[in-house]
Chains A and B, each alone.
Chain A
Amino acid sequence: MIHFVLLISRQGKVRLTKWYSPYTQKERSKVIRELSGVILSRAPKLCNFVEWRGHKVVYKRYASLYFCMCIDDTDNELEVLEMIHHFVEILDRYFGSVCELDLIFNFHKAYYILDELLIAGELQESSKKTVARLIAAQDSLVETAKEEASSLSNIIAQATK
């Protein structure tokens, strides 16, 4: 299973963290510090796997962002690499050629997408289209709710005028 997902920028800034195994706040920041040290310092062309505290961290760099997933020793590293790519492609489709800024200002959207892809550190959907469809459906639910709320407040405003 995946123990956590990390998105770190080249400067070492955290862009997204998702923890599927319990880590205390202290441990979390330690893990992030340690791993960004290890991963950011690795030269390009080296393999995408780092052994770390009995686990393996699979990472891949896309532009200025490193996508990291920590997995068990027995998991399939190549599969996880493909999973990272899968995630990036979904983000890319959702934001329309995604960039770091999209993920900064819409970080919650990125989380929603991740939640449609992984639960409890396991893959739940292998179709990019299905994920996109589910996210769109939920986004539109939110939109409708907002419109309703604003029209409601309009009505109230007019009534109390």
Chain B
Amino acid sequence: MNPFSSDTRLRDMIRAIRACKTAAEERGVVRKECAAIRASIDANDQHYRHRNMSKLMFIHMLGYPTHFGQMECLKLISSPGFPEKRIGYLGLMLLVDERQEVLMLVTNSLKQDLNHTNQYIVGLALCALGNICSAEMARDLAPEVERLLQFRDPNIRKKAAICSLRIIKKVPDLAENFVNPATALLREKHHGVLITGVQLCTELCKISSEALEHIRKKCTEGLVRTLKDLANSPYSPEYDIAGITDPFLHIKLLRLLRALGEGDADASDSMNDILAQVASKTESNKVAGNAILYECVQTIMSIEDNGGLRVLAINILGRFLSNRDNNIRYVALNMLMKAVSADTQAVQRHRATILECVKDSDASIRKRALELVYILVNEANVKPLTKELVDYLEVSDQDFREDLTTKICSIVSKFSHEKIWYIDQMLKLLSKAGNFLKDEVWHALIVVISNASNLHGYTVRALYKAFQTSTEEETFVRVAMWCLGEYGDLLINNVEMLDIEDPITVTESDAVDVVEHALKRHSSDLTTKEMALVALLKLSSRFPSCTERIREIIIQYKGNLVLELQQRSIEFNSIIAKHQNISSTLVERMPVLDEATFNARRAGSLPDAVSTPTGPSVNLPNGAVKSVAPLLDLLDLSADDTPAPSSSGGDFLNDLIGVDPSVVSQQPGAIHTSKNSTDVLLDLLSIGSPSAPIESLPVQRNSSTIDILSPSTSKREPISSLDDLSSVSLSSRAPSNTGAASMTDLLDGFASGPPASENNGLVYPPITAFESSSLRLTFNLSKQPGSPQTTNVQATFMNLSSNAYTDFVFQAAVPKFLQLLLDPASGNTLPANGKGSITQNLKVTNSQHGKKSLVMRIRITYKINGEDKLEEGQITNFPRDL
């Protein structure tokens, strides 16, 4: 006998483990046992193999690694005796799963055992195969299993049926082989075979439409008869559960009938009677009966419409819903979800009960009910329902609040066309549970507020009032800061009073108090503080009497450890102190935010807007959008300055904020703007980001929807800092590297020297890249300072023929050492005879800069009077060193 082999019995090992007081002690015992088992395995000790396997299974169940025992399973399986095989297969099922390669080794043993003369060994093999077979094994052993479907003993047939089910799940191609033997099983009397056969057929119907057709045609009547016999069968003790004969078989039959009846009027028709019988006669005071009813209702709802049956089904659900048993109520809610699409009216009748369920103490029921309420909301009931939900929000469980808040929020947004109601509900929601909401929710709210021009005063007053009672929620505070900054003057003057409002008296210093409170709030995060600072700056010009106080608050942050706050503090302080003459224009109210663009950006995947011509900006042709242009200038500012070479920096400012001309005239750079300035202007008015610099791309990716409110995350030159100033910078800005070119410099720069943007960008003479009899393509090339590898190309297309082109699409390809970024074109129609042009910006990055020059292959498609045209060419006449 091996001296290391452990001869403790399984029972003793379990006792020893159970006697352990601590986890460490348990680990010790298990380690010792494992060592003994390993030794025994190494010694190939046949005598203890059986016992070792049992021990390993127990150890496995406790969660310890037992992979070293996997080969022992195989040895046990391949030994001849039944006891060894029995424990071996059990170990196999427990210790190995279908993804382990060990499993491949067992295929052969399985095959032998499936052909064994002892039916119990066949049963073991089928069971193991059914539980863990992988796709390969399924293919290898399918013929054996198929044959066993006709085995003499019913207990093997039923196991083979379930095995087949697993096989066709793993390898759907094999389904057709099983259709005939499976339908044969449906004629069996043995319940075990019948129930497994029904399940196999249900799976076949799911997998293959041909099988579905076949079974529908051949078996529907037989199944209806079987169900009828079952439902009418007298008491049979072997299958009786709570007075019902074999509820499991009932349920499986109903499920198969559902598969057959769905989408087929004839089949549905033939099962109507029996469904009506089951639905009306089944006892509903025990779980088994209710389970059948539940399944029956599902079947009635899924098969082709029959008014009478549906009424019956909905009534059953109504009864379920008022049941005291939570389980029954849960399944009722679950089922009503599915019934909504069939009969909304009937479900609406139960709305009050469902709403009660939202407030249930059981989390599972609450969740179901909430989803259901969400579906039930419509124009007519949205207001009372929302009110109920919002009221409940206050008393709900912490962990349920998130779900609830998101749902309310999406209900409110879905029915948001009545602005005042929307704003009211959102403010309530924000002040109660704002922290559960995503950023885009309050961004959307701000966009709506900004658009509802007649509600500005109302909103800011409502916010002020709400702020007095609750400052818990971060997002709420942010919205409050934004609105106070923008519409602070409407607050104190009670402008645009609505009839429903109570007048309030707020002094200027009260308003500043609120912002100061938000700024100094212990829990305010960086973004909120930034917004509060901007709000203060805006208020400083709206409330001249408070300017000095605001400056004192702002100046407190000049030594802040957070660079961003420090910078803002110093910049704003400088504006208030030194630049009173421009500050009022500088902090003018934000232009109305464009809802359409915001929604489009929110809906579409954002990076598209820049990298492919499918972005939202394509929809808006050049120049047709003057009304929103100011906003877009602002938004695209950081993007637009790329193609603006040399001296145009000043122009941007000029356009953007209309700085007093005297200021501009002091700036020598602005005078010789010459030709470029027109380009810039064009860019400013155009939508989208015509130049789409690479720098802005990652930003847009990161901040996705945020950027409409905070376009400027690119850290370049004075413009971006100015942009910060006028927009509410929401994105988490990395400390901006504006450094020397900070705001102070910029503004001081007006008075003294040329702005820092007097840069060394390179411009090349335009080239005619492509010319055919009908089309000319010119490239304006420029380079961004500091990135010699990157060339900005403005492509201009000119129609030389006398026909207008429509559906104009330009495509370009470059070799691998180049990287190409294509922006949306300015339009897709090209008027005849060169009377107009399409421009499109490209950005080419040359990774072999200095070694290889640019080349490009192009392809242009368009339509003349609906006829497709295609032009192709290669461009090699780029200047060198690009």
A binds B: yes
Residues of A within 8 A of B361 (CB): 43, 46
Residues of A within 8 A of B365 (CB): 47
Q: B247–A14 contact, CB under 8 A?
A: no
Q: B162–A122 contact, CB under 8 A?
A: yes
Q: B54–A126 contact, CB under 8 A?
A: no
Q: When chains A and B are docked, how far (Å) is the Cα of A86 from the Cα of B241?
A: 9
B862 close to chain A: CB less than 8 A: no
CB distance from A87 to the nearest CB of B (A): 12
A151 close to chain B: CB less than 8 A: no
Contact with B along A4-39 (1 / 0, CB 8 A): 000000000011111110111100010010000000
CB distance from A80 to the nearest CB of B (A): 9
Name the interface size band of chain B: 35 or more
B502 close to chain A: CB less than 8 A: no
B90 close to chain A: CB less than 8 A: yes
CB distance from A86 to the nearest CB of B (A): 8
Also in contact, A22 and B97, with CB within 8 A (given A47-B365, A107-B58, A126-B249): yes
Which of B191-199, B630-638, B777-785, B821-829 is near enough to bind chain A? Answer: B191-199
Contact with B along A76-118 (1 / 0, CB 8 A): 1111011101100000000000000000110110011001000
A-side interface residues, number (CB < 8 Å): 55
Query: Which of A17, A20, A126 makes the CB contact (< 8 A) with B246?
Result: A126
Q: B295–A79 contact, CB under 8 A?
A: yes
A80 nearest in chain B by CB position: B291
Also in contact, A126 and B288, with CB within 8 A (given A46-B362, A82-B241, A83-B248): no
B400 close to chain A: CB less than 8 A: no
Q: B98–A78 contact, CB under 8 A?
A: no
Q: A23–B251 contact, CB under 8 A?
A: no
Query: Which of B97, B192, B328 makes the CB contact (< 8 A) with A124?
Result: B192
Q: A50–B364 contact, CB under 8 A?
A: yes
Q: B294–A78 contact, CB under 8 A?
A: yes
Q: A51–B367 contact, CB under 8 A?
A: yes
B120 close to chain A: CB less than 8 A: yes
CB distance from B33 to the nearest CB of A (A): 15
Q: When chains A and B are docked, how far (Å) is the Cα of A115 from the Cα of B120?
A: 13
Also in contact, A119 and B159, with CB within 8 A (given A46-B362, A47-B329, A107-B61): yes
B170 nearest in chain A by CB position: A120
Residues of B within 8 A of A63 (CB): none
B192 nearest in chain A by CB position: A125
Contact with B along A132-144 (1 / 0, CB 8 A): 0010011001100
Q: A108–B87 contact, CB under 8 A?
A: yes
Q: When chains A and B are docked, how far (Å) is the Cα of A18 from the Cα of B31?
A: 24
Q: B131–A129 contact, CB under 8 A?
A: no
A45 close to chain B: CB less than 8 A: yes
Residues of B within 8 A of A25 (CB): 65
CB distance from A41 to the nearest CB of B (A): 10
Query: Which of A47, A48, A78 makes the CB contact (< 8 A) with B291?
Result: A78
Q: When chains A and B are docked, how far (Å) is the Cα of A48 from the Cα of B238?
A: 27
Which of B78-86, B390-398, B433-441 is near enough to bind chain A? Answer: B78-86
Q: B165–A142 contact, CB under 8 A?
A: no
Also in contact, A49 and B165, with CB within 8 A (given A81-B291, A122-B196, A138-B120): no
- Within 53-108 of B, Cβ neighbours of A (below 8 Å) are at 54, 57-58, 61-63, 65, 81-83, 86-87, 90, 93-94, 97-99
B648 close to chain A: CB less than 8 A: no
B545 close to chain A: CB less than 8 A: no
A150 close to chain B: CB less than 8 A: no
B14 close to chain A: CB less than 8 A: yes
Query: Which of B83, B98, B192, B248 makes the CB contact (< 8 A) with A146?
Result: B83
Q: A119–B130 contact, CB under 8 A?
A: yes
Query: Which of B120, B155, B161, B294 makes the CB contact (< 8 A) with A76?
Result: B294
Residues of A within 8 A of B432 (CB): none
Also in contact, A138 and B11, with CB within 8 A (given A47-B329, A126-B239): no
Q: A127–B191 contact, CB under 8 A?
A: yes
Q: When chains A and B are docked, how far (Å) is the Cα of A24 from the Cα of B67?
A: 12
Q: B248–A17 contact, CB under 8 A?
A: no
CB distance from B266 to the nearest CB of A (A): 25
A74 nearest in chain B by CB position: B298
B294 nearest in chain A by CB position: A78
A130 close to chain B: CB less than 8 A: yes
Q: A119–B287 contact, CB under 8 A?
A: no
Report 20 cross-chain contacts, Cβ distance below 8 Å, ordered by A residue: A15-B61, A18-B93, A23-B97, A46-B326, A50-B364, A77-B327, A78-B290, A79-B251, A86-B241, A105-B14, A115-B93, A122-B196, A123-B199, A123-B248, A124-B195, A127-B239, A128-B238, A141-B120, A142-B82, A142-B83
Pick the 3 closest A-B CB pairs, nearest first: A78-B291, A47-B326, A119-B130
